[in-house]
Structure 1
């Protein structure tokens, strides 16, 4: 692959992933019941509203989950894979591979969002004023659902919270487990 082709693939992939992250953050913040009036939440809502609002009229939520945002993230992931595969190989992706890569890629992206959020929250726990910051508050609200089961399982360690370490281990294991083979049929 030529360097110009690599640059185009890099640009296409990162533009798609940027918006996929925003759409998935909207979904995950709704799952976490994060503060809707937070300035960062408002940015995420406004950035996704033009596409999600019409989709929500067609695709209802199920059990309080915003299925439209998950579907949009998946469709964007599929479009990204098709675009990259076409740029690299000049042909279409086999459907089976497209489904496998898009679903595993979406799960890995969600795990990656949680992974980064947990690391940021662990670092922010050392800064006393971090929870007063809108970003800090939102990060804490985002990572609380995946950390909660670990906090229930682990014994009290005298004020030291080991749940982020175990959550990071599980998330990294999940990401490694979902690494698809890079063989296109």
Structure 2
């Protein structure tokens, strides 16, 4: 399948920034260390476009939903731009595009968690208790998932099977989302 280089660049840069916005939301959701250098970088990269939205959108409890809303709007706009570039070959209505955008964003979150859990497992073998900012932020991001999964499958001695349950749940959800993801 031949792809337009402009579309490839647009999709790559758009998806990268959407990833950063989603990552900011998930760090906040997991209550990760705000003063971690990686968290600070994510906040700086997203502060300017989020400032107007943060004034408009109310916080839900302690949670700022503006990164997620901006990620959704950007994903929708990116999809519209890519469809416009291939005008005539794809006809889609707005409702369908909204559903596809939501499913794609949820799929991105699940993919991010998949790789974060995998990295967390590897870090627990290679460098447990590391003081480097990257392993710390990964551990903080995945800790709530592990605690939730450990309620279903408690650790057996020194063996924690909760990552297997998390991987299975992610794969099942992504399989159900597959028809709706572009």
- CA–CA distance in 2 between the matches of 1:175 and 1:94? 23
Written as runs of structure 1 = structure 2, the 5 A alignment for 1:33-182 is 33-90=31-88, 93-128=92-127, 131-180=130-179
Instruction: Please report how far the alpha carbon of residue 115 of structure 1 lies from its aligned counterpart in structure 2 after TM superposition.
Output: 0.7
SS in structure 2 opposite 1:111? Answer: helix
Alpha-carbon RMSD across the aligned residues, in angstroms, is 1.9
TM-score, length of structure 2 as denominator length: 0.92
- Which runs of 5 or more structure 1 residues have no equivalent in the other structure? none
**What is the CA-CA distance between 1:49 and the residue it aligns to?**
0.0
Does structure 2 conserve the Cα–Cα contact (< 8 Å) formed by 1:86 and 1:92? Answer: no
Residues 163 and 66 from structure 1, CA distance in 2 versus in 1: closer, same or farther, beyond 3 angstroms? same
| Structure 1 CA distance for aligned equivalents of residues 48 and 19 of structure 2 | 16
Q: Deviations over 1:116-173 (max 9, x none)?
A: 1001111111123563110000000001112211112213312111111110110111
Query: Where does the alignment leave 5 or more consecutive residues of structure 2 unmatched?
Result: none
Deviation at 1:17, TM superposition (A): 0.7
Relative to structure 1, the CA distance from residue 149 to residue 181 in structure 2 (aligned partners, 3 Å threshold; closer, same or farther) is closer
Distance of aligned partners of 1:182 and 1:118 in 2 relative to their CA distance in 1, 3 Å threshold: closer
TM-score (norm 1): 0.90
Equivalent in 16, 20, 23 of residue 22 of structure 1 = 20
Q: Tell whether the 8 Å contact from 1:52 to 1:69 is kept in structure 2 after alignment.
A: yes
Question: Which piece of structure 1 moves more, 141-150 or 123-132?
Answer: 123-132
Partners of 2:37 and 2:100 in 1: how far apart?
33
- Distance in 2 between residues matched to 1:155 and 1:101, nearest whole Å: 36
Q: For each residue in 1:47-69, what CA deviation from the matched residue of structure 2 results, as whole angstroms up to 9, or x when unmatched?
A: 00001122101112112221111
